[in-house]
Amino acid sequence: MKKTTTRVTAALAVLAMVLFGATAAQAEPGATITGTVTDRTTGAPLAGACVSLMSTAELALATRCTDSTGTYTFTGVTGQSFWGVHIRARATGRPDVWWPSAPDYFNGEPLHVEPGTTGRADFSMVTEVGGFQGRITHPDGSPAYASAVTAVAVDGDWRARALTDNEGRYRLVNLPVGAYRLGVGPEGWVPQQWVPGKASQGDGTVFTVTAGSTTTVDERYVSVAPPTSIGNGTIAGLVTARATGEPVAGACVTAVNADLGGEVGRSCTDATGRYRIERLWYQYRYRLRVQATGFPEQWAEDANDFDNAALYPVSGEEVTTVDVALRVGGGTIRGRVTPEEGGTMPWSLSVVARAVDDSWRGGVMAVDGEYQLDRVPAGDYRVYFYAAGRTRQFHPGVATAEEAAIVHVAEGGTTVVDERLVPAGSVEIDLVDKSTRRPVSGCVELVESVEKACTPSGSNRVTFPVVWATTQRAETARVTPGPGYWQRSVGNIQVTSGKATRLTLEMEPAATVKTSVVDGAGNKVAGVCVKPVSGHSVPTIPLRQENENRRYCSDASGAVTLGPLPAGPTQLFVQSTKPWGAQWYATTGGTGDRRTATTLNLVAGTVTSTAPIRLDRAGSITGTVNGADGKFVEGCVQAGADQPDLPGGAAKGCTVFTNPYEGRFTISGLGPYRWPLQYTGQWIGDDKPFALAWSGNATNRYLATPVQVKADATVTAPPVTLRYDGSIRQFDVGAGAGTYWSVEAYHPSTGDLVAVYRRAYDEAMVGLPAGPLLLRYVPGSGKPCWYVAGGATGGAGSTPRPTVVTLAARQVIDSVRLVPGSTCLAVPVATREGPSKPG
């Protein structure tokens, strides 16, 4: 039998959002919930029955009563599409009914209504009910405290469950009169046994529920008993009088299941004021009610009711300690809330009183505008109001706690705090070009309000007609213009009730590239992605983009727009998409050597249109990675070098373990061009890497022997032998460098990153090929700089340049001094002379 998923109600999360002020999403359109309440026996409508949307078993979010036709309606309901909401019907002289047809919160189901739609919840109510109570035990007579007792009407028209507490007791109430069978089983399962000890439901005894009576039915498991391992949690602690600190004997502490409802354990304090509640299920959370002679009822640790009480999880290994200091007396805060002029009451409204010294806080829902908060400790308070879809409003009608009035609560007294809701504000944002002040179109998101709007056709103004006054956090606008401008966020936007907030935001122009993608026959191709790549000589950081992982892909018409992009030299890398091969873009056709790729010189505020990207079918390269003595090594081979705009983007193939091991790799998805291949690797089981090498046993990309790929074929690359070459053992970066910093090595001709030394992880910079290098120091905080051996010395007007460090084969350098401001300077970098085009 498969165990069903344990149902944990979301009402607690909803309550936390409403009572304690998480910002609600204003953008969500309200839903409508409607239905009828009728007599179960006659079908006649019941006028004056009150239906409540419930946050918990106790707390009503809002209440509407039926008209003469038995109809009720809630409008503007938000936040229920995901969580759902429990609904209770109540009428004079009749037991409560929970939707769809249940005696209590635990047996009811949440109604889910999508935003902007209407949900229906009808109720039929009875007048005569009764119930069952009893105790469930294991075969050895011990309490079965991990059980559910299910009552099923013989006619199949009613079904309800109740959980056993830590002594195995259960209680089923509000069952319509009639005949029932009772089943027992682990909570979350269908009944495993039917009273008395029968395996089949039809063999169970039929019990009669009579009006106003409770029938006692005990049951012992025959063989199948629920697991006990989940029920070994414990809550224990000390109950004292807050005024004296003395222990309170005879105070009774009751554990209530906060997720499912219902009392699950009880313990009264001994002469030392200590209590202990055992056998609690550790997958649930609990709230504790404390009752003692001479004290008002209190909920742990210092709350006036179930809904304001703290949540306590338990575990099967450690005792959860909860001490409670009981207060004596308290006062009441009550009042009425009315809507703003011309407005309507929100569907749900909460009221929270918070002590000025932050020693106590309690909240309650205002039902139809009326609220009352009892057993409030005497003292000074600020009162705030929070309606679903709005931000906080402090009494009297102000936006912040600093402006709020101080409300005094006297012992045994009643303080009236009436409040009128304030009207919404509005926000208008004009978007203009930073340079020309011309209108710019785009979209704006208000972060705190979770609302988004875009400029209408022919306008540059974004309007938010309903924005609630700024309270805990000022509003932030996040602007997303078209591809010709950079995104921008602007904070500290103050919204005032009943007033319009207007501002103009300047948008920084950016470069844009427009092209299209076609196949060999000139047909448009969709879904091909293009990466913009810096065309600077030694790129050390990625191109400025709104998102480093942003993808620019061709649409159904083959068109692709790249932007916003920074001004400057830019190349395009076309990523592999079956059956097409990867390529560096050139106006004359794809290439595998970026030296022959087209460089676009982008200008901010300008759209660069270029010839279509022409795709060719893909091919593959295979080969082996060898060591100096001819043995195969473990390694990877990639088509071209990694660089900041293509981290891991180059097509790559790594050696695959075979028996016997051949050190063989395969690179797939390459366009049919000449590709230089970069080789890396180490001996199997050895962490020390070989020096980076290129096809043809070259030491850099410009000297590599490219491998010609053929469409729809696999070619074999000539073998490359990896060798241990140069290294730098350590770096002197001066005092106060911290733990985390790095040094990067670049080839001065190709601009490729050759190796990286990470201070916290590497013992030395290894795997350096013979030849020239440029060294760049990247501190944990601060600006990077380049190694300049002579520092800033030189002739008048001369500009320092990075010093080239040239390594002989297998040379080891003991130390390089890279001290910022001395031998490490922020100087311009240009590649040295070398073959810029393939020979």
DSSP for 718-780? Answer: PPEE----EEEEEEE--TT--S--EEEEE-TTT--EEEEEETTT-SSEEEEPSEEEEEEEE-S
pLDDT for the residue numbered 623: 94
Distance of alpha carbon 444 from alpha carbon 361, whole angstroms: 37
- Exposed e or buried b for every residue in 250-287, given b needs 16+ CB within 10 A? ebebbbbbbbbbbebbbbebeeebebebbbbbbbbbbb
In terms of pLDDT, which residue wins out, 359 or 29? 359
In terms of pLDDT, which residue wins out, 535 or 158? 535
Q: With 90 as the cut, is the pLDDT of residue 715 above it? A: yes
pLDDT for the residue numbered 3: 30
Q: In Å, how far from its chain's centre is CA 577?
A: 31
What mean pLDDT is predicted for residues 488-492? Answer: 93
Q: Which of 277, 301, 326 is the last residue of a domain?
A: 326
Domain check: are 142 and 239 in the same one? no
In terms of pLDDT, which residue wins out, 715 or 735? 715
Model confidence band, residue 213 (pLDDT cutoffs 50, 70, 90): very high
Residues 496-537 pLDDT 10s:
888 999 999 999 999 999 999 999 999 999 999 999 999 988
pLDDT for the residue numbered 620: 97
What mean pLDDT is predicted for residues 351-371? Answer: 91
Q: Which helix (H) or strand (E) holds 746?
A: strand 742-746
Range of the domain at 174: 129-220
- Name 6's Cβ contacts closer than 8 Å, sequence gap at least 6: 187, 188, 283
Q: With 60 as the cut, is the pLDDT of residue 25 above it? A: no
* Omega within 30 of 0 (cis) for the link into 660: yes
What mean pLDDT is predicted for residues 702-717? Answer: 96
**Burial of 467: CB neighbours in 10 Å, binned 0-12, 13-18, 19+:** buried
Q: With 50 as the cut, is the pLDDT of residue 20 above it? A: no
Q: Which of 439, 474, 507 is the last residue of a domain?
A: 507
pLDDT for the residue numbered 14: 38
pLDDT for the residue numbered 537: 84
The amino acid at 34: T
What mean pLDDT is predicted for residues 480-487? Answer: 92
Angle, vertex CA 341, rays to CA 16 and CA 14, nearest 5: 10
In terms of pLDDT, which residue wins out, 31 or 410? 410
Domain check: are 257 and 289 in the same one? yes
Strand partners, 125: 39
Domain check: are 133 and 173 in the same one? yes
Q: Is 442 helix (H, G, I), strand (E, B) or coil?
A: strand
pLDDT for the residue numbered 837: 59
pLDDT for the residue numbered 831: 65
Q: What is the 3-state secondary structure (H, E, C) of 94-145?
A: CCCEECCCECCCCCCCCECCCCCCEEECCEEECCCEEEEEEEEECCCCCECC
**What are the φ/ψ torsions at residue 229 (nearest 5 degrees)?**
-65, -25
**What are the φ/ψ torsions at residue 20 (nearest 5 degrees)?**
-115, 20
CATH number at residue 740: 2.60.40
Q: Which helix (H) or strand (E) holds 162?
A: strand 159-163
Model confidence band, residue 219 (pLDDT cutoffs 50, 70, 90): very high
> Biggest alpha carbon distance in the chain?
108
Q: Which of 576, 599, 614 is the last residue of a domain?
A: 614
Domain check: are 523 and 543 in the same one? yes
Domain check: are 15 and 120 in the same one? yes
Model confidence band, residue 472 (pLDDT cutoffs 50, 70, 90): low
Q: Which helix (H) or strand (E) holds 180?
A: strand 178-186
**What are the φ/ψ torsions at residue 809 (nearest 5 degrees)?**
-55, 125
Domain check: are 502 and 518 in the same one? no
Q: With 50 as the cut, is the pLDDT of residue 16 above it? A: no
> CB-hemisphere CA count at 13 Å for 569?
8
Q: Is the pTM of this model over 0.85?
A: no
The closest of 41, 97, 39, 40 to 70, measured between CA atoms, is 39
What mean pLDDT is predicted for residues 203-231? Answer: 85
Cα 370 to Cα 341, 345, 353, 407: the distances in Å are 18, 11, 15, 18
Residues 756-791 pLDDT 10s:
999 988 889 998 999 999 999 999 888 999 999 987
Instruction: Supply 96's token pair.
Output: 């409560």
174 in Cβ contact with 95 (< 8 Å):
yes
Domain check: are 253 and 201 in the same one? no
Residues 262-296 pLDDT 10s:
888 999 999 999 999 998 888 789 999 999 999 98
Residues 371-392 pLDDT 10s:
999 999 999 999 999 886 677 8
- Name 250's Cβ contacts closer than 8 Å, sequence gap at least 6: 268, 269, 292, 293
96 in Cβ contact with 132 (< 8 Å):
no
Domain check: are 626 and 711 in the same one? yes
Distance of alpha carbon 384 from alpha carbon 363, whole angstroms: 9
Q: With 50 as the cut, is the pLDDT of residue 63 above it? A: yes
* Omega within 30 of 0 (cis) for the link into 838: no
Q: Parallel, antiparallel, or unpaired: how do β-strands 511-518 and 607-609 relate?
A: parallel
What mean pLDDT is predicted for residues 148-164? Answer: 88
Model confidence band, residue 60 (pLDDT cutoffs 50, 70, 90): confident
Number of domains the chain contains: 8
Q: Which helix (H) or strand (E) holds 817?
A: strand 812-817
Residues 603-647 pLDDT 10s:
999 999 999 999 999 999 999 988 877 677 888 999 999 888 887
pLDDT for the residue numbered 417: 97
Q: Is residue 472 in some structural domain?
A: yes
What mean pLDDT is predicted for residues 29-43? Answer: 91
What mean pLDDT is predicted for residues 434-448? Answer: 93
Q: Is residue 61 in some structural domain?
A: yes
Domain check: are 390 and 482 in the same one? no
Domain check: are 348 and 366 in the same one? yes
- Name 82's Cβ contacts closer than 8 Å, sequence gap at least 6: 10, 112
Neighbours of 396 (CB within 10 A): 15
- Name 133's Cβ contacts closer than 8 Å, sequence gap at least 6: 169, 170, 171, 172, 214, 215, 216, 217
Q: Is residue 4 in some structural domain?
A: no
Domain check: are 200 and 287 in the same one? no
Q: Is residue 745 in some structural domain?
A: yes
pLDDT for the residue numbered 832: 52
What mean pLDDT is predicted for residues 171-190? Answer: 90
Q: Is 341 helix (H, G, I), strand (E, B) or coil?
A: coil
DSSP 216-234: E--EE-SS----SGGG-EE
Q: With 60 as the cut, is the pLDDT of residue 795 above it? A: no
Residues 81-115 pLDDT 10s:
556 899 999 999 899 999 999 998 888 999 999 88
Neighbours of 728 (CB within 10 A): 23
Q: Is residue 775 in some structural domain?
A: yes
**What are the φ/ψ torsions at residue 15 (nearest 5 degrees)?**
-60, -45
Q: Is 788 helix (H, G, I), strand (E, B) or coil?
A: coil
Domain check: are 526 and 609 in the same one? yes
Distance of alpha carbon 484 from alpha carbon 482, whole angstroms: 5
Q: Which helix (H) or strand (E) holds 19?
A: helix 11-20
What mean pLDDT is predicted for residues 808-817? Answer: 93
Report the phi/psi class of residue 751: left, alpha or beta, with left for phi > 0 and alpha for psi in -120 to 50. Answer: left
Neighbours of 329 (CB within 10 A): 11
Q: In Å, how far from its chain's centre is CA 770?
A: 48
Q: Is 703 helix (H, G, I), strand (E, B) or coil?
A: helix
pLDDT for the residue numbered 479: 95
Output the CA torsion sign for 432, 433, 438, 442.
Answer: negative
What mean pLDDT is predicted for residues 434-459? Answer: 92
The closest of 223, 33, 1, 208 to 111, measured between CA atoms, is 33
pLDDT for the residue numbered 17: 41
Q: Is residue 834 in some structural domain?
A: no
The amino acid at 238: L
pLDDT over 70 for what percent of the chain?
91
CATH number at residue 558: 2.60.40.1120
Q: Is residue 832 in some structural domain?
A: no
pLDDT for the residue numbered 365: 86
pLDDT for the residue numbered 659: 79
**Burial of 249: CB neighbours in 10 Å, binned 0-12, 13-18, 19+:** middle
Q: Is residue 2 in some structural domain?
A: no
Neighbours of 756 (CB within 10 A): 15
Q: In angstroms, how far is the first alpha carbon of the chain from the final one? A: 73
Instruction: Supply 208's token pair.
Output: 């009669």
